[in-house]
Structure formats: structure tokens, C-alpha cells
Chains A and B, each alone.
Chain A
Amino acid sequence: MNGFEPQIVAFTCNWCSYAAADLAGTSRIHYPSNVRIIRVMCSGMIDPIYVLRSFEAGFDGVLLAGCHIGDCHYISGNKRAEERTAKLRRLLHILGLEDERLKLEWISAAEGGRFAETIKGYVDQLKQLGPSPFRKEATA
């Protein structure tokens, strides 16, 4: 599909990944504007419904980002996120979605550059995959 611009929603944790996005901004690192960032307190509080509703709303990819394992501000929230992601991928698989549509990344507050790289890489990956079947015609 020519000119396809994927839409991504990113749930980033308050303590690491949101700070990383902030750092990317203050460091003036460019990254694609395809992503909408939602700050949550911890990757462990991302309910499966957030992800399902994102796909329902027509997003092509969902990025969950939190602190590196062992660094979670709430000790083990990111472990929960990891377990939940595995489960969600199984559900999305049955629904016919590719595993890549749900991405889980650990990005620390110091990794502004890596945040930007992650978004760039993800946009390219989703461009390869094409639009989500749940994408609304109006936004395509």
C-alpha cells in the first residue's frame, strides 16, 4: 500500500519510558510522528482492555514500554506486563493479528535515543505489515 502511514499508540511508564520520550524531545532527537504516547504509572497497570480498545479504535500497532527488568519502580510491574503481553499475543493470534502488532520494549529514562530508534524501527516494521484489519476507513 503506497503512502501508508501506520498509527501507533504507545503506553509508556511514568518512571522510565515516558521520561525516555521526554529526553528524546529535550535532546531534539527526531522520530516519526506516527505515535501517540499515553503515560501510565507502570507497565504493570496496562490492562488487556487498553490494548484491545486500541485495536478497536483502529491503531495499527500498540507499543508497551516500561523499565528494564529489575528496575521497575514497583519492583515487579514489568514482569506482569511481560506475562500479560504473552497472553494478549495468544488472543490476538486467534483474532488473526500478527504478533508484531503488539510490541513490548524496556526503555530506561536515560535511553532517549533508543526510544526514538524504537519508534522509527516500529514504524518501518508496520509499514511492511500494512494496515491493521481493524483500521477504520476514515483514518486510512
Chain B
Amino acid sequence: MTLDQIVNETKAYYCLECGKCSGSCPVSRHNPAYSPRVMVEKALLGLENDLVYARELFSCLTCYACSSKCPSDVDYPLFVQKTRALASTRGQHGACAHSGTLQALSRLMANPAIEQRRLEWLSDGIRVSAEGDVLFFVGCAPYFEPVFEDIDVESLRPAKGSLRLLNSLGIEPVVLEDEKCCGHDLLWTGDVDGFKALAEHNADIIKKAGAKKIVFSCAECYRTFKEDYAKYVELDCELQHISELLADRIDKDGLDLKEVNRKVTYHDPCRLGRHLGVYEAPRDVLKAIPGIELVEMGRNREESLCCGTSAFTNCDSYSKQIRVERLLEAKSTGAEVLITSCPKCQIHFKCAMVSKGKAKGPDVEIPVMDLAEFVASALGVEDERQE
């Protein structure tokens, strides 16, 4: 896709140069060298090289804070996604976090010849079935588990919690051994071919499994299926995030939730919130737990602040500042637990806590839990914590 086509598709030509995007951008707040308005301006002036070779192209969090404020409705994150794809044709792939290990894993997964062993974590207490109408999409959590255990993140907990919740609702979902990464990170770092290969594979095996409904615990997988798979592959399934499924159930039949006397706050992941507009379902679920006190951070729902990194790229000191900012905001509410519903938000917050430490600035320590994991504990069906 040429720069002209990108401008046309994202309606960047409607830009009024009002600067609301740069004013609301969490990265611009910390990094004055980055401005979405200037990026769009460069595109409109046809300065392709300035854009494609700019370090700042990979600074965008694609969190949609800008576009939700844009009076002309310019889809800036899509503009970034497409421009990154253009940049990758010129050998520009950005500085991926963890040296690109996670993108490399996604690319390796895209190979059709491999036979994964990705379900060895399933324990006896979790019931899954070989076929059925409901499928649970695990995502990359089995790969994250070894990578992020150093920073005290048990990446599989959201998936395990979700499966236990589904079991307790009488659902024994299909879980596929040859499921692959949804392709989110590859798409957002410019590798469209890699994304397509993964998307086609997943769509294919899900069709073969005959699933009518797919449930997600990862906000990124959910967004990718809902928005991007719709553009690239054919897949006719009902899609639901675990929070929406729970909210539905609580609305209809109620759940036998135990009393949890805790003060919690909820962090909206960009993918679930601004990308898909799911704000109330997670909150309704939390409020349904007796004894819980849900306090909101100053910036919540549409105004929510991104966790600071996305697609495992653009992780730098500015990204860390954003995370610290958000963690301090969470702490200032007086909440005992910060709840989110994206495994990656959890990873990024924990990382900020580990590398910050108490000696190196403000105390940002606050327990972070996934929504599914938290609700599972309120239902008394959670997994034991590893020691």
C-alpha cells in the first residue's frame, strides 16, 4: 500500500491540524519529539522517507486515545498500522522489546510444519472437550509463561481462571492444540504476511472444529478476531470476551459469588475499551461480587490511560513513565488490587514494578490481577498460586 492509499483509507486528509491528538497522546506527554499531528502532517506533505524511517513511527501505542478525540475522525492507529507495513517493506521493523523474541515466536508458529505442545498446562481440574459449540481461544499465554516468570507474572492464570469459570457455568469448551498466535503483534509491527498466515490457519482450524462461538480472555486476541480477521479471513462465529459472557450470565441467572471484602479498581485495556467499546461488562461483573468496592481511577473508560506498551514494540523510558503514571493513579484510589482484563497490561505493569523498585522512585507496588482470575477466586474455583 502506498502512502497515498494509506492517507485515503484512514481519511488522514481530513486532518484539521487542531492538535487534539497530540494533546491527548500519552506518549507525547512524556516524549516531546513524538506528535501524531506531525506524523499525519508529514504524510499529507508526501514526506514518505521522513515518516517511514522515523523512530517515532514505532512510538505509537495504538491506544486510540487520539482518534477518540479527533473531530475529523481520522483513524490514526490504523494509519500507523499501515505505515508500519510500508516501513517493513523498506527494512524498518522498529525496535521490538525483548529483542523481538515474541515476534519471532509468532513467526515460527506461522510455519505449517510444526506440531505444538501448547496444552501441557491443562490440569485435571479443568474440563475441556474435543468438540462442541463453544471454543476457548487461549492465545500466546503458554509461551508467555516461561518468558515472563522472572517478573513474577503467571501468564496462564487468566486462561486457567476463564476455563474454570466456564466449567462452573456448565460449559466445557473446545481448546485446540494446534491453535496459533492470533497475529496481533505481527500485524501491528508491520508484518502483514505473517499475520495473514496465522489468521488463515486459525480460521481454518476453528471452522474444522465446528465452533459457533469463541470466548477470549485476552483483549488483544478478541480485538484481532473481531476487527482484523473480519477484513482478512472468513470466519462466521459469535465472538465474546469472558467479561461479556459473565455479565450476561449474571444478568440472566446470577452467579453464586462469595463475599470478597476488598477495594478494587479496574484498568481498561485499550483493546477492550477504546478499540471495541467494552467498558461496562467488566465493571458489572465486579459489582456483582458481594462486598466488593469498585473505585474508579480519575481516567477511566474512554479516558483510560494505556498500560504503556503494545505489540511488544516501542518499550522505552517514556513507556515506563506512562506505566508508573498509571500505577500511581491506581494506588491513589486506595484500591488494594488493580484489575485488568488483558494479559499484556498485567505483564507491563509488573515489569514497571520490578524495574522501578522502591529505591528508584515512587512506590508503585500494587497487586495486579486478571478479571477472570479474580472472579474465579470469588467463585471459589481458582488455581493454587505457585510458590
Contact = CB atoms under 8 A, between A and B. Distances in A.
Interface of A: 47-49, 52-53, 55-56, 87, 90-91, 93-97, 133-134
A55 B105 CA distance: 10
Contacts of B98: 48-49
A91 B120 CA distance: 12
A56 B101 CA distance: 12
Nearest to A87: B146
15 contacts: A47-B101, A49-B98, A49-B100, A52-B108, A56-B108, A87-B147, A91-B146, A91-B147, A94-B116, A94-B117, A95-B105, A95-B109, A96-B115, A96-B116, A97-B114
Contacts, number: 51
Question: Contact residue range for chain B?
Answer: 20 to 34
Task: Name, among B98, B108, B111, the residue most crowded by chain A CB atoms within 10 Å (CB to CB).
Answer: B108
B99 interface: yes
Nearest to A48: B101
B143 interface: yes
B146 A134 contact: no
Contacts of B146: 87, 90-91
Nearest to A89: B146
B100 A91 contact: no
Given A47-B99, A87-B146, A91-B143, A96 B104 contact: no
Contacts of A134: 108, 111, 113-114
Secondary structure at the B interface, as helix, strand, loop or mixed, is: helix
Residue picked from B116, B117, B146, most chain A C-beta under 10 Å:
B146
B142 A94 contact: yes
B37 interface: no
Nearest to B99: A49
Given A47-B99, A49-B99, A91 B105 contact: yes
Contacts of A133: 111, 113-115
A56 B191 CA distance: 15
B55 interface: no
| Residue from A49, A56, A133 with most neighbouring chain B CB atoms (10 Å) | A49
A55 B101 CA distance: 12
A54 B146 CA distance: 20
B99 A95 contact: no
Interface in B131-183: 142-143, 146-147
B153 to A, nearest CB: 14
Contacts of A97: 114
